[in-house]
Amino acid sequence: MKKTIVITGATDGIGRVCAHSFAKNQDELILVGRNPDKLAALVYSLQVTGATVHSYVADLSLAKETFLLSETIRKNHPKIDVLLNNAGAYFDQYTLTKEGLESTFALNHLNYFILSLGLLPSLKRAGEARIVNVASRAHMGVSLNFEDLLGEKEYSGWKQYQRSKLMNIYFTYELAERLNQTKITVNCLHPGFVKTKFGQNNDGLAKILLTFAQNIFAISEDKGAETSIFLVTDPSVSSVSGKYFVKKKIEKSSEPSYDVTARRNLWTYTEELLKSKFNFKFPGF
């Protein structure tokens, strides 16, 4: 059966591979990307195959833009079957968005939170729906410091990236619990170390080392997309929720990721930040 699928970070890497895969199933695609030229080129390449494609240009590191995007998509697409939260990045140096938030936290965590909550009404109308969050095994070995969640006191690009991926898992587990009386499932995954443009936004040594590592150790984009595609499409996981997947199988995430207090504290912190700084109000559960 045809599905309506939202994909963020659609123009490169895993997102692009997923878009082409779902287009073959004649699914209706809603693609989100930051670069209008790359997005237009992707849309064209999919439409020539007969796919139904809608596209939205947005910088998901900006909370206001992400919130407005969720409102626009919700208005234009009252029924959505799947949200694939895929957009993210690694920032080696401490940088702030135009809204004054640390970039890793803003893009990798807030964007998932805002879009998922903003699109809930459309997901509910689908009957059975899925939210799939691309996380990473990089979450292993870290915990959250709520006294310095945005890395203002002490910043390490890699540690902040790791923590943002732990946030993705916390968000998945908490949202799954909050939606357990609905027919919306929420799962997350580790795609593998994939040869994409990940890290190419950085300069100097960080970019050199990431490029070298990808050339030696990374798997292909097609391989890296397999678990995302599985969680979006496979009937066997239609009723599975609140799980972490690696290579299309449920695995245990890190010990700290099961800390319910930290998980709920992150939710509260995020909710209060978005309310106090932006006055966001979500449609609710």
pLDDT tens string, the chain, 285 residues long: the values are: 799 999 999 999 999 999 999 999 999 999 999 999 999 999 999 999 999 999 999 999 999 999 999 999 999 999 999 999 999 999 999 999 999 999 999 999 999 999 999 999 999 999 899 999 999 999 999 999 999 999 999 999 999 999 999 999 999 999 999 999 999 999 999 997 654 555 445 454 443 444 433 444 446 888 989 999 999 999 999 999 999 999 999 999 999 999 999 999 999 999 999 999 999 988 876
pTM above 0.85, yes or no: yes
Rg of the Cα atoms in the chain: 18
Residue with tokens 């073959």: 24
Is 220 in contact with 193 (CB distance < 8 Å)? no
- State the catalytic residue, choosing from 44, 112, 155, 161: 161
Q: What share of the chain is helix, strand, coil (3-state, %, to 5)?
A: 50, 15, 35
Active site residue 269: no
Q: Are 119 and 158 in contact (CB under 8 A)?
A: no
* Ordered structural domains, the chain, with CATH: 4-278 (3.40.50.720)
